[in-house]
Amino acid sequence: MDPTGTPAGPSVTVLVCAYTLERWDDLSASVRSVRAQRTPVDELLLVVDHCPELADRARGALDGVRIVSNQEQQGLSGARNTGVAAARGEVVAFLDDDAVAEPEWSGRLLDGYRDPRVLGVGGLVLPWWETGRPAWFPPEFDWVVGCSYRGMTERRAPVRNFIGANMSFRRAAVLAAGGFRTDLGRVGTRPLGCEETELCLRMAARDPQGVLLYEPAAVVRHHVPPARTDWAYFRSRCYAEGLSKAAVARHAGSGPGLASERAYLRSTLPRALARGLRPGSGTPATAAAAVVTGAGATLLGYAAGRIGGGAT
């Protein structure tokens, strides 16, 4: 019980994974945002992914942060697994090293765990465009820059999976499911992903009564640098997403593995295309071209992944 007589919530470890000194300013801002939470976290854990220089600098500059080195295969999945193994909290909350959490973030995530069926809680990821959103960049493709996108549910509701920049799980559930697959996901700047999708599918299959809860009031803001706002990155990231979805479908089956994607293709993208082509909509024609290009690149990557048999 807390001093008001309310049952105490679960303890929480916030995990931030980082791999390069080049994002030091972003990492520092991420750490500050966790320290500023209105609901204090029990532990802030930085997992450094095979970058000794970053680990040394962090130990000398980041007070109150527990720092460990990735003990698994290089990459985000291995770093996350290392963090989950080392965490002391009952809940592990993941925050990207280039994202900052709003002050209510931790409290909003933890509120979801009042329901014992809830295995995980994820939140809203808003883009912070360093140079402004490009006019051609459709909001339906904000997943390209690791953010929530138009077409997602906008209310508190069960979902299939979370966005990796803003998600949390009961630590015991992650361990019981076997953690993140290290043959999926990002290594350095290689834009593959979907390891969190595959983990969520595996957790749901293991516990059909469990709930993965989306809480849009738990907000983080994700830094989008200029390098991620050009056509070349957009196309390459869409292609990589297709490769990653093919890998998820191989592990989880194309039924559960692609259910959300089929709805996205049937409903979200046609509406985006119609809006871009409608005279007087205020949407530039290049946005419609981006919808077609993004969908085509993603489907091409998926086909290549299925034929080639590997996404890595």
Beta strands 66-69 and 157-158: pairing type? unpaired
Structure tokens at 243: 């490769």
DSSP conformation class of 36: T
d(CA 134, CA 230): 8
The CATH number of the domain covering residues in 12-230: 3.90.550.10
- The pTM for the full model equals 0.89
Q: How does DSSP assign 196-262, residue by residue?
A: HHHHHHHHHHH-TT-EEEEEEEEEEEEEE-GGGSSHHHHHHHHHHHHHHHHHHHHHH-HHHHHHHHH
Mean pLDDT for the stretch of residues 55-77: 94
Sign of the CA dihedral running 264, 265, 267, 268: positive
- Please give the pLDDT value at position 282: 56
Q: Radius of gyration over alpha carbons of the chain, in Å?
A: 19
- Please give the pLDDT value at position 57: 97
pLDDT bracket for residue 19 (50, 70, 90)? very high
Whether the per-residue pLDDT at 24 is higher than 80: the answer is yes
- Please give the pLDDT value at position 254: 54
Contacts of 252 (CB under 8 A, 6+ apart): 198, 201, 202, 205
Whether 191 and 240 have beta carbons less than 8 Å apart is answered as yes
- Domain residue extents for the chain: 12-230
